[in-house]
Amino acid sequence: MFSSPNVPEKKPAHNEFAGRIKEEFYQSELLNVPKVASSTIIVEGLPPDAIEREVAHIFRPFPGFKTVRIVHVTSEGEGEGKSGESNCFVDFESALQTTAVINTI
């Protein structure tokens, strides 16, 4: 295909534009999401027998929930984890959603 320099760029659909404006408003005005915010929440100190399904039941009702990963800590090391506890990473679609979850829980 050939492109012409006189052809205007395709503008985003109204709904897409409105969605971006809405997210930017909530991000800046209501939740005050930092620029370096992550889309992952780290949960520390879970019981050693915690399973992903149990943790997912807590976070699944929130919009944007993607996955849960549990890391079982087996020995004391350089980190703060102690033997016999688990840590978990909960992924969401955006930092805005993780901020909303953290402020809710």
Which domains are delineated in the chain?
Answer: 36-104 (3.30.70.330)
pLDDT digits (tens, 9 = 90+) for 65-79: 999 999 988 766 555
pLDDT digits (tens, 9 = 90+) for 5-33: 555 555 544 455 555 545 555 555 566 77
With tokens 């901020």, the residue in question is 99
Instruction: Find, among 31, 93, 26, 23, the residue nearest to 59 by Cα.
Output: 93
Q: What percent of the chain has pLDDT over 70?
A: 62
Per DSSP (E only), the strands in 34-81 are: 40-46, 65-72
Contact in structure between 82 and 76 (CB atoms under 8 Å): yes
